[in-house]
Chains A and B, each alone.
Chain A
Amino acid sequence: MSGHASNEMNTAPAWGGKVSPFRVSYGKLMMWFFLVSDALTFGGLLVAYGYTRYTFDGQWPIGEETFEALPFLGNGYPLMYVALMTFILIVSSVTMVLAVEAGHRMDKKGVIKWMLATIIGGFFFLGSQAWEWSHFIHGTHFGRVELEDGSSAIVKGHFGEIESFEVIEPGAHSPAAGELITNDNISAEEGDLMHAFQHAAVAGHLEGEAGNLKIHLHDGTVAKVNKKADKNLQLLIKEPGTKYAVSLPSDESTRISEEEGSVNMYYAALTKGDVIYGANMEQNEYGPQQYGQFFFFITGFHGFHVFSGVVINIIIFLGVLKGIYHKRGHYEMVEKTGLYWHFVDLVWVFVFTFFYLI
């Protein structure tokens, strides 16, 4: 291309708007400028995240401890789900660039095929993010507890399943004393056993100790909780109290193990109602309040970009189907929406590293 520069240029049409600056079309240039400004927004958000994280140091949640669940498979798969989401977005970026390539060959069928794949990939990513948000908001089975010395701990281990509530004193909607409340006959107000259990824990409506818990339900029922024993329950101190210091992620001996009485400490906190499950705008079980807000805002703002990207892709896809761009003689619109779509992938690459990995 450098050969062109030495050509004698006719400058007359340059002032008539006939020469594109930088040899790109107006639309593409403006898309690039928009992407730069959008990148500044995300850059600002991630730097703000880094700033806040620095100021909290050890209390900040750790990616591989926080995000370790998979749909249907449960816990214990650190970062696998986010890796899957990253892979989905990379693949949909690839199908987009293949659509652009097909457009360069004026291969309408190719453009249709690859754009459709891109849109499907976009929906897959949005679905994954919905699941992740739902998981983040509902939280873990254990939650986060405040211990007697004022320290605050998250819990690792396997939560023993709640099998039933055995009615001791019947309430307004419950079966008779001695009967069992299971997920099949529990009232709609309570939802399911796990939900009722967590709700009672937060409200301070649990009493007793591990293996012998009594629950007070909404309708006045008092019942014994039939629950399997938890396995390998460990407390990871996140905020120090008068007795316990913050657990180091690199050293498992700084956690409180079952031998050191983690089970009793956990259920003591649970029966006092000193527990937080999941996340909302005020508090979350994972770490400082700002952590939840950054999670919601950064992944939410990115997710909104993905959503609008899918919408724009669909609009352009309809144009391709109608043959608008084929008639026009070039598929530059596919290229422009492609730029936006790749940018969404690009942002996720950085979010993945700075939010989840580091």
Chain B
Amino acid sequence: MERDDVYEYSLDTHHSEEEGKKVRKKIWFVTLLLTVVTAVEVALGAMVKQGSDMWTTVKVLFIVLTLLKAGYIVLTFMHLGDEKKVLKWIILLPYIIFIIYLMFISFTEATAVGPEM
């Protein structure tokens, strides 16, 4: 009897030539995206001075763009998007919760110690 409930390796260990073409197309798309986002970040960083009126907006934009880049790297390059959903969230969720907590508590403390923001 052929069994389909025993998986020794990841589901996508092998794929065909045609599937490969699709995967490669996606890889090149993500490459382009990461490059363009980085170029935009550098241009903004060089043009907008810290402390100017625009700076807060740009700072938030930097963080959003960074998370966008990180998302593409983790989900596409590291194939976490292709893994089982439960694995994806077991990796991501504890980390996200912890890092948000750590940032919250540290920056709250930092403003208490340092000058008024």
On whether the beta carbons of A24 and B70 are closer than 8 Å, the reply is no
On whether the beta carbons of A55 and B84 are closer than 8 Å, the reply is no
Contact residues, B33-69 vs A (CB, 8 A): 34-35, 38-39, 41-42, 45-46, 49-52, 55, 59, 62-63, 65-66, 69
Contact of B16 among A105, A249, A358 (CB under 8 A): A105
Q: Which of A43, A104, A350, A356 has the most CB of B within 10 A?
A: A104
Query: Is A30 in contact with chain B by the CB < 8 A criterion?
Result: no
Query: Is A13 in contact with chain B by the CB < 8 A criterion?
Result: yes
Q: How far is the CA of A90 from the CA of B28 in the complex (A)?
A: 12
Contact residues, A77-105 vs B (CB, 8 A): 78-80, 82-83, 86-87, 90-91, 93-94, 96-98, 100-101, 104-105
Which residues of chain A are within 8 angstroms of B102 by Cβ–Cβ distance? 43-44, 47
Contact of A346 among B27, B74, B109 (CB under 8 A): B74
Q: How far is the CA of A320 from the CA of B51 in the complex (A)?
A: 52
Nearest-neighbour CB distance to chain B for A210, whole angstroms, equals 29
On whether the beta carbons of B50 and A101 are closer than 8 Å, the reply is no
Contact residues, A199-257 vs B (CB, 8 A): 248-251
Nearest-neighbour CB distance to chain B for A314, whole angstroms, equals 20
On whether the beta carbons of B51 and A54 are closer than 8 Å, the reply is no
- Interface size classification for chain A: 35 or more
Q: Which of B24, B31, B59 has the most CB of A within 10 A?
A: B31
Contact residues, B68-101 vs A (CB, 8 A): 69-70, 73-74, 76-79, 83-84, 86-87, 90-91, 94-95, 98-99
Contact of A7 among B4, B34, B38, B110 (CB under 8 A): B4
Stretch at the interface among A131-139, A264-272, A337-345: A337-345
On whether the beta carbons of A1 and B20 are closer than 8 Å, the reply is no
Contact of B45 among A48, A55, A64 (CB under 8 A): A64
| Chain B 102-117 per-residue mask, 1 if CB under 8 angstroms from chain A, else 0 | 1100110111011101
On whether the beta carbons of B62 and A51 are closer than 8 Å, the reply is no
Question: Which chain B residue shows the least CB distance to A23?
Answer: B7
Q: How far is the CA of A321 from the CA of B46 in the complex (A)?
A: 44
Q: How far is the CA of A126 from the CA of B11 in the complex (A)?
A: 35
Contact of B27 among A48, A98, A349 (CB under 8 A): A98
Contact of A22 among B74, B90, B99, B109 (CB under 8 A): B90
Question: Which chain B residue shows the least CB distance to A248?
Answer: B51
Query: Is A62 in contact with chain B by the CB < 8 A criterion?
Result: yes
On whether the beta carbons of B7 and A78 are closer than 8 Å, the reply is no
Contact of B6 among A19, A343, A346 (CB under 8 A): A19
- Between A and B, 18 residue pairs with Cβ closer than 8 Å are A10-B3, A22-B84, A24-B84, A40-B95, A40-B99, A43-B95, A54-B114, A58-B115, A62-B50, A79-B46, A93-B77, A101-B20, A104-B23, A250-B51, A345-B73, A349-B66, A353-B41, A353-B65
